[in-house]
Amino acid sequence: MQKLKRIYLILAYMFFIYPPFIAGLVFIYNETGDNVETISLFVNILVLLVLTGVISLFIANKKLHIPTKEEIKYLIFGLVGNIVMYFYTFQNNLNLENIVTIYLVLLIVMGVHYALISKKFQPLELWILLPIFLVYDYLYLILTGCGYSNQYNCYQSTSSYPFLVPLFFIIVAFIMLYYIYRIVLYKLIDLFKIINIVLSVILSFIAFNDFTANEKFTLTVAILLPFFIIVDFIVSIVNKTFKKQMILFYIRTITLIFISIFIGASGILNGYDFDVESLAVFVVITYVSLFISILKTIMNITIVETKITDLFLPNSSSVKYLSCTSDELAQIENFFLHYKGDTITSIDDYNLQVKKDTNVIGVVRATTTLLEINPNLMQANIYFLKVIEDIEQHSTELINRVERHYKSSGVTYLTYQANIHEKEIIEVLLKRGYSPVKTETSAYTFIKILS
């Protein structure tokens, strides 16, 4: 039963991949190549029916639990995704390539996820960009009769609709400014980042001007850029200063360079006609932003949202360390989505939160237990510690406050089980005199004698 506990969630997300894989198999075994979309639809429905039958048998034999209300929502979400992916897979066969775009597909999927599951506009970046891309894409299609998907057999002119060109550049400028804003939020500026930013700006400027600069100079910049990116990663890994945000930093800077190269190569700035091929930049940005959103989830990268004024006045925000009430803890646990609060409730719990203005950027939860080897000795355990901004500074202060609290209470030992991926927190623990003890899992228990 334990292995099947999350089977409904797995099935829900698997629904998304059935249409393209089934289509591939149909293409392989359907030698005539006729009615591929119809056969694939039939096979897709058959697979879903078989799955329903198998699950029903498992439930009837008490090998699987009846899906909960939450799991039913996920299954509905998966079925909607299955339908959307079918139309996206066969958009060309059904002559819907200019209607069922990647923007529409993602908006439908995110909208259903919002309505049924999250109740949050996440990922926010796609919620901002996709409606803009979708509106411009449909506007271009309606006015010119051509869409991005049929650009190679469609001839159109934008001369009758001159506003399409400046509107395109306004959107591109917005994208570039938005990407720059996200880069600034990472707060990763150091010598190598500055060098790479300067090289990126130079290469972007050359690209915007259709590479009219000296060829040797251009190639030199093009070689130095990846060189210094690699050097930055090597130095940060060796010095143990590597942060996962660096990956996002360089994905965004390279994307900005791509936009510049694309605009320059299109010749729009040099008087060439604006055509539907230019819409490719929106498609690329969509996939890049989607990849970044997935990467942030997989790597558990959390970027604290910062007011624009705070970027220029970094000391204007007030950081406070406060105790937590039960209600506040519930809200904090919802904020850190990957973590579900333990059922531990004790009068000895010591819980603190770090607040920057109104945002919670850190939390620590600890409790005490009696030692089995000596019932007269107390041990305190930090069973949850999470900081998402200025990790070393705030983790150090939180641990320091926990130590002071339990030392004054006569506690002998303080422990924390750290996952091997919590590099910043492990460094803080080692600096504060904690001794690591390897456990059977991919974690270490850090112990410190308080008295």
Domains and CATH numbers, the chain: 1-96 (no CATH), 118-303 (no CATH), 318-449 (3.40.630.30)
Determine the pLDDT at residue 151.
60
DSSP code at position 301: -
Q: Is the dihedral of CA 212, 216, 217, 218 positive or negative?
A: positive
Q: Residue 438 to residues 282, 419, 420, 442: CA-CA distances in angstroms?
A: 48, 11, 10, 8
The model's confidence at residue 346, banded by pLDDT at 50, 70 and 90, is very low
Nearest one of 284, 280, 219, 218 to 251, comparing CA atoms: 284
Lowest pLDDT segment from 179-188, 201-210, 319-328: 319-328
Asked if the model's pLDDT at residue 339 lies above 50, the reply is no
Asked if the model's pLDDT at residue 207 lies above 60, the reply is yes
Phi, psi of 365 (to 5 degrees): -130, 130
Asked if the model's pLDDT at residue 205 lies above 70, the reply is yes
The span from the CA of 426 to the CA of 429, in Å, is: 5
Percent share of the chain, pLDDT over 90: 31
Determine the pLDDT at residue 270.
67
- Digit-coded pLDDT (tens) for 258-313: 888 888 777 776 666 777 788 889 999 999 999 998 888 777 665 655 554 454 44
- Residue 220's contacts (CB-CB under 8 Å, 6 or more residues apart) are none
Answer for the pair 338, 300: CB distance below 8 angstroms, yes or no: yes
Nearest one of 391, 328, 339 to 362, comparing CA atoms: 391
Q: Which of 156 and 192 is assigned the larger pLDDT?
A: 192
- Digit-coded pLDDT (tens) for 227-245: 999 999 999 888 877 888 8
The span from the CA of 355 to the CA of 321, in Å, is: 6
Asked if the model's pLDDT at residue 335 lies above 60, the reply is no
pTM summary value? 0.68
The model's confidence at residue 224, banded by pLDDT at 50, 70 and 90, is very high
- Digit-coded pLDDT (tens) for 347-381: 457 888 888 877 788 888 888 876 655 556 678 88
Determine the pLDDT at residue 316.
44
DSSP letters of 160-196?
T-TTHHHHHHHHHHHHHHHHHHHHHHT---SHHHHHH
Q: Which of 39 and 311 is assigned the larger pLDDT?
A: 39
Determine the pLDDT at residue 337.
44
The span from the CA of 43 to the CA of 29, in Å, is: 13
Lowest pLDDT segment from 9-23, 120-134, 199-213, 417-431: 199-213
Asked if the model's pLDDT at residue 392 lies above 50, the reply is yes
